[in-house]
Amino acid sequence: MPNLTDLQRRFAIPGVVAIENDANHLARLVVTTPLAEAHVYLHGAHVTHYQPAGHPPVLFMSGKSWFQESKAIRGGVPLVFPWFGSHRDHREFPAHGFARTRPWTLRSVRQDADGVVELSLALGPDDATRALWPHDFEVVYTVTIGSVLGLALAVRNTGSTPFVFEEALHTYLSVGDVRGVSVTGLGQRDYMDKLPSGRRLTQSGEPITITAETDRVYFGTADTVNVLDPQAPGEGGARTITISKEGSLATVVWNPWVAKAKAMPDFGDDEWPAMLCIETANVEEHAVTLKPGESHVMQAQVQAQRDH
Ligand code: TA6
């Protein structure tokens, strides 16, 4: 693991970006500016907190999340790479790939003239990743913290053979009560309903509401999704969280509801009403193929505004 003192010397910006070990001795960056605050762990390059000025937190974090090097953090924005869900051929491999449970390297920390902070983190192959996925790659993740949370996942094939990968920014949004939330931007899109068997359907009208366990992969959609939360946390009343994106053709919508929430040890039984995952992805038929030397970037912007 990197030396904390060395990281602080190289990357800290006094009063803006601190680097600390959390209570579980995992290193994280704590970003505090007049525009927003955020927490980003080197473990999984995991954004666990984002709160723009004047708003309650935009990301949900489970109070029962693991914070261990071998496990994914539950909430925030888990990074899914290089496969989504269970591995097609090896069900014993970690779900959603290995990126979210690897230590990432902090590459740069910058603040621009407007006060926006940009972090860059990188992941490359090692024996552990090659044992799961026999390819050479470089992933560079850029997190931009301002009135908008910007996330950019750049994958490059540094090997000598082509590879195919899936990816997702598995974003957990914080909502007042998922049963009262309306989702727009996915109308008329085809989707795979993973409950129970992966059947293909077409989204009829919208808004989409959440009335049971929901686990859907929408295809052929580069669209912006809006989540209207009439009972948003905090004092300000209703708010809309907008997720726009580039370089992504799939969007995943997930809420575990009652039974699945109970089945997850790192998720509180009563936490499911407080979250909704809107995931920016390239999965299934939208998996990405890269020849040697080629790169691909997937980006998302997460923004909250009050509905007055
Ligand atoms: O993105 C939705 C999903 O694939 C669900 O099927 C559920 O498994 C969720 O991801 C969480 O997966 P995780 O491995 O983080 O428990």
pTM, full prediction:
0.98
The full DSSP string for 39-78 is EEETBTTEEEEEEETTS--SB-B-TT----TTS--SBSBP
104 lines ligand 1 (CB under 6 A): no
Give the residue numbers marked as catalytic.
170, 279
The predicted-structure confidence for 262-285, as pLDDT tens digits, reads as follows 999 999 999 999 999 999 999 999
Distance of alpha carbon 12 from alpha carbon 14, whole angstroms: 6
pLDDT at site 1: 62
Find, among 238, 274, 237, 241, the residue nearest to 256 by Cα. Answer: 274
For residue 256, the CA-to-ligand 1 centroid distance in Å is 9
For residue 85, the CA-to-ligand 1 centroid distance in Å is 6
216 lines ligand 1 (CB under 6 A): no
pLDDT at site 43: 98
166 lines ligand 1 (CB under 6 A): no
Strands (E), 136-287: 137-145, 149-157, 163-165, 167-169, 172-174, 182-184, 190-193, 199-202, 208-209, 214-219, 225-229, 239-246, 250-255, 275-282
Under DSSP, is residue 128 helix (H, G, I), strand (E, B) or coil? helix
Nearest-atom number in ligand 1 for the CA of 266 is 16
252 lines ligand 1 (CB under 6 A): yes
pLDDT at site 71: 97
| Residues in a beta bridge with 97 | 81
pLDDT at site 178: 98
> Which amino acid is located at 274 in the chain?
A
Give me the residue label for tokens 């997930």: 254
For residue 277, the CA-to-ligand 1 centroid distance in Å is 9
Are residues 288 and 165 in contact, defined by beta-carbon separation less than 8 angstroms?
yes
The domains located in the chain, with CATH, are 62-103+123-306 (2.70.98.10)
Test site for ligand 1: of 170, 272, 283, most ligand atoms within 8 A of the Cβ:
170
128 lines ligand 1 (CB under 6 A): no
Report which protein residue has its CA nearest ligand 1's atom 9. 254
95 lines ligand 1 (CB under 6 A): yes
Nearest-atom number in ligand 1 for the CA of 95 is 14
Low-confidence ranges of the chain (pLDDT < 70): 1
Distance of alpha carbon 61 from alpha carbon 131, whole angstroms: 31
